[in-house]
Amino acid sequence: MLTPVLSDNWDQIRSWQLASYQRSGGYDALRTALRMLPADVVTAVKDSGLRGRGGAGFPTGMKWSFIPQDNPKPKYLVVNADESEPGTCKDIPLMLASPHTLVEGVIISAYAIRANTAFIYVRGEVLHVIRRLQQAVVEAREAGFLGTNILGTGYDLDVIVHAGAGAYICGEETALLDSLEGRRGQPRLRPPFPAVAGLYGCPTVINNVESIASVPSIINNGADWFGSMGTEKSKGPTLYSLSGHVTRPGQYEAPMGITLRQLLELAGGIRDGHELKFWTPGGSSTPLLTAEHLDVPLDYEGVAGAGSLLGTKALQIFDETTCPVRATLRWTEFYKHESCGKCTPCREGTWWLVQILERLEAGQGDESDLEKLLDLSDNITGRSFCALADGATAPITSSIQHFKDDYLAHFTNGGCPFDPMLSTVFATAGATA
Amino acid sequence: MADTTVPYSTGDSKIGETTIGEMRELAARYPEGRSALLPMLHLVQSVEGRITPEGIEACAAVLGLTGAEVSAVATFYTMYKRRPVGDYHVGVCTNTLCAIMGGDLIFERLKEHLDVGNDETTEDGKITLEHLECNAACDYAPVMMVNWEFFDDMTPESATQLVDDLQAGNEVKSPRGATICTWKEAERVLAGFPDGRADEGPTGGKATLAGLRLARERNWTAPAGAQARTTDDSRKED
């Protein structure tokens, strides 16, 4: 049922240190990869069917193959470790427990695309993760896995751990590049795509932490092994993150295509005495699902078929004590705060959405306001450079679709009919604010 | 309630030759120096306790930019602070999931307990309180951060105890990190100058290991062909 691969060494003592990682077979894949031609490493990752774990699900090996090797400019690998999508909490524990899994993946991946400089762009708000990444890079360099003439192969690679400074938008790959160039993190218009003109205008691959960390296991065990887990078009094991009103929240590494019903069984179910009301399959930018979607296979195709997106597999679980209007307003406030301001529909639209939702939560509104929200959402979605605006409207349109009665109850009640205390983890402990 | 106004320059900047030298060192780590601007601004905060005009001018001088260009960057990112930050930056996640799980009530309790509003500092200069967006620890909700170290599964009671300990100068440890240093010291690590404390703390908390522990109990593994695991029970973390 569960298939720990990335998480397999997380219960080893000092799993973040090089010595511990090597006791678990760490850096064996690097030795194997460096005996292969770079193009064969790309082929192996292509054949595995690995798709980007940062939310979009683009085939990783194909992304690498877009790098024009006849371009004389330097090539760069950039790891997107700016994990900030609400609900998403898989890359941070991975890097805290086993930063070397990522560093080994970085070296193999950079070798595959013939990059001599790689960056790990990690959000700034995770001090201890940054400490462990910094130490892992130093350890890897001292062991001869980084620097010049790696393991005597003539291949050179430098890895730079780069801390961000608080901006959700920098998880968007072109905004990340601008930020890494020392600018405001605002998305770029595409094309050109980063594979052609990325960091400093050079060919650049940007991959999520989990994608890159999956590479050593593919090199060690083969593309067929990776593809033996998961579904036809969504292959491999992956980290599902359960949070919210579940008995045992946490990281569950399972083959692609497991269902929420199965995951909830593993996590001890919805907290005692309560029932599932709604959930996000992959962070707040993915439309809400309900109990009728418990058996949807959690792969890219399955979740898309249910009208949502697999996203980052961040399963935020809410029980019947949760007000969907309050949840939606809070997410909308988040998108308003994080809109970079570049595109008008997003910059202005997210403010309008918040203003209307604040009024509705206070019970001041009627059914025509819901039409207005949907109309605004329709004018915001797909009209900006990046997907932030699309994400902003996802909770609004899906919550109105599934929970219109809860919105209407705010109007008849003259305010929120839910008691916020009941949804807290300490509700049963008798604590008060 | 803390004074929310701040002079443009207090005239007592601590940016000197040492910091300028470190800024040049950061710029030299990158293929193009300007890439070091975010780390350099973290360094400014580690020296000044905030982003100062002198710090902005120093970054500009080192990188050959104008002060306006550096200011445009500094004002874009929420971790850069125009007003002085206390010894301990205390964050409470109030994004949807944490808010609903209790973050809103924790934040309200702390504002009252510390007698400050959002993004304000206590009279004694010890604590700056701020509500945060998602910090990627949702499986430990409600979550707080102190100087960007995790504090998991918080309650109003544990939150007030935490800030009381910080104000009293008691040693405080993150359940998934190190002993809490000052905000300025943390900013120095973010700038790219390690403090040698990576080995403190565990591999992960209970939620991080929830799936793995279940897999161990039930003998679930990835299919054959997987690299032989070298798990040795005697070396396992508790």
Residue in B closest to A318 by C-alpha: B97
The minimum CA-CA distance between B11 and chain A, rounded to whole Å, is 26
Q: What is the total residue count of chain B?
A: 238
Looking at the DSSP bridge assignments, the partners of residue A254 are: A238
Look at residue B11 in the predicted model and tell me its pLDDT: 80
Do the Cβ atoms of A433 and B235 come within 8 Å?
Answer: no
Question: Considering only residues 37 to 66 of chain A, which have any Cβ-Cβ distance to chain B shorter than 8 Å?
Answer: none
In whole angstroms, how far apart are CA A415 and each of B23, B97, B152, B220? 53, 21, 32, 49
In terms of phi and psi (left: phi > 0; alpha: psi -120 to 50; beta: otherwise), the region of A229 is beta
Residue A433 has pLDDT above 60, yes or no: no
Confidence of residue A427 (pLDDT cuts 50, 70, 90): confident
Do the Cβ atoms of B77 and A89 come within 8 Å?
Answer: no
Q: Count CB atoms within 10 A of the CB of residue B211.
A: 29
Tokens of B25: 């060192």
Residue in A closest to B215 by C-alpha: A2
Look at residue B5 in the predicted model and tell me its pLDDT: 59
Nearest-10 Cα torsion for A311, A316, A322, A324: 0
Enumerate residues 6+ apart whose C-beta is below 8 A from A263.
A240, A242, A252, A254, A298, A315
Q: ω into residue A191 within 30 of 0, thus cis?
A: yes
Q: Where are the beta strands (DSSP E) in A194-319?
A: 204-208, 237-244, 250-255, 276-280, 289-290, 314-319
Half-sphere exposure at residue B95, Cβ-oriented, CA atoms within 13 angstroms: 28
DSSP code, position B236: B
Which amino acid is it at A113? I
Do the Cβ atoms of B222 and A4 come within 8 Å?
Answer: yes
Do the Cβ atoms of A248 and B201 come within 8 Å?
Answer: no
Set of chain B residues whose Cβ sits within 8 Å of the Cβ of A132: 198
Which amino acid is it at A417? P
Helix or strand run (H / E) with residue A122: strand A117-122
Residue A406 has pLDDT above 70, yes or no: yes
CB A268 within 8 A of CB A117: no
Of A239, A254, A211, residue with least CA distance to A108: A211
Do the Cβ atoms of A267 and B39 come within 8 Å?
Answer: no
Look at residue B6 in the predicted model and tell me its pLDDT: 61
Interface size between A and B, measured as CB pairs under 8 A: 322
Look at residue A430 in the predicted model and tell me its pLDDT: 45
Q: ω into residue B142 within 30 of 0, thus cis?
A: yes
Question: Is the CB of residue A338 less than 8 Å away from at least one CB of chain B?
Answer: yes
Question: Considering only residues 342 to 371 of chain A, which have any Cβ-Cβ distance to chain B shorter than 8 Å?
Answer: none
Residue A151 has pLDDT above 60, yes or no: yes
Q: Where are the beta strands (DSSP E) in chain B?
A: 88-93, 120-121, 127-132, 144-146, 149-151
Do the Cβ atoms of B148 and A124 come within 8 Å?
Answer: yes
Write down all domains in chain B, each with its CATH number in brackets. Answer: 17-74 (1.10.10), 88-190 (3.40.30.10)
| For chain B, the helix, strand and coil percentages under 3-state DSSP, each to the nearest 5 | 45, 10, 45
The minimum CA-CA distance between B57 and chain A, rounded to whole Å, is 15
Residue in B closest to A91 by C-alpha: B136
Set of chain B residues whose Cβ sits within 8 Å of the Cβ of A165: 38, 41-42, 77-80
Q: What angle do CA B35, B40, B42 make, to 5 degrees?
A: 120
CB A9 within 8 A of CB B213: no
Enumerate residues 6+ apart whose C-beta is below 8 A from A174.
A187, A188, A190, A194, A385, A386
Residue A432 has pLDDT above 60, yes or no: no
The minimum CA-CA distance between A415 and chain B, rounded to whole Å, is 17
Residue where the block lists tokens 């890897």: A140
Do the Cβ atoms of A249 and B139 come within 8 Å?
Answer: yes
How does pLDDT run across B101-122, given as a tens digit for each residue? 999 999 999 999 999 999 999 9
Residue where the block lists tokens 């249910």: A306
How does pLDDT run across A300-354, given as a tens digit for each residue? 999 999 999 999 999 999 999 999 999 999 999 999 999 999 999 999 999 999 9
Look at residue B12 in the predicted model and tell me its pLDDT: 87
Write down all domains in chain A, each with its CATH number in brackets. Answer: 18-227 (3.40.50.11540), 237-319 (3.10.20.600), 324-421 (1.20.1440.230)
Return mean pLDDT, chain A.
Answer: 97
Give chain B's residues under pLDDT 70: 1-8, 226-238
Of A102, A50, A104, A96, residue with least CA distance to A80: A102
Closest Cβ–Cβ partner in B31, B136, B141 for A83: B136
Question: Is the CB of residue A134 less than 8 Å away from at least one CB of chain B?
Answer: yes
Instruction: Respond yes or no on whether ipTM tops 0.90.
Output: yes
Nearest-10 Cα torsion for A395, A398, A404, A408: 20
Looking at the DSSP bridge assignments, the partners of residue A250 are: A242
Tokens of A2: 């569960």
Q: Mutate which of A128, A200, A246, A425 to disrupt the B interface (most B C-beta within 10 Å)?
A: A128
Q: How far apart are CA B54 and CA B24, in angstroms?
A: 16
Do the Cβ atoms of A131 and B132 come within 8 Å?
Answer: no
Closest Cβ–Cβ partner in A165, A180, A327 for B77: A165
Residue A358 has pLDDT above 90, yes or no: yes
Closest Cβ–Cβ partner in B80, B96, B149 for A330: B96
Question: Is the CB of residue A430 less than 8 Å away from at least one CB of chain B?
Answer: no
Do the Cβ atoms of B192 and A134 come within 8 Å?
Answer: yes
Look at residue B9 in the predicted model and tell me its pLDDT: 74
The dihedral of CA B140, A171, A100, A252: what is its sign? positive
Closest Cβ–Cβ partner in B148, B222, B236 for A3: B222
Tokens of B127: 């604590």
How does pLDDT run across B140-173, given as a tens digit for each residue? 999 999 999 999 999 999 999 999 999 999 999 9
| For chain A, the helix, strand and coil percentages under 3-state DSSP, each to the nearest 5 | 45, 15, 40
CB B62 within 8 A of CB B40: yes
CB B91 within 8 A of CB B131: yes
Question: Considering only residues 378 to 407 of chain A, which have any Cβ-Cβ distance to chain B shorter than 8 Å?
Answer: none
In whole angstroms, how far apart are CA B18 and each of A19, A388, B58? 35, 41, 12
Closest Cβ–Cβ partner in A10, A16, A127 for B208: A10
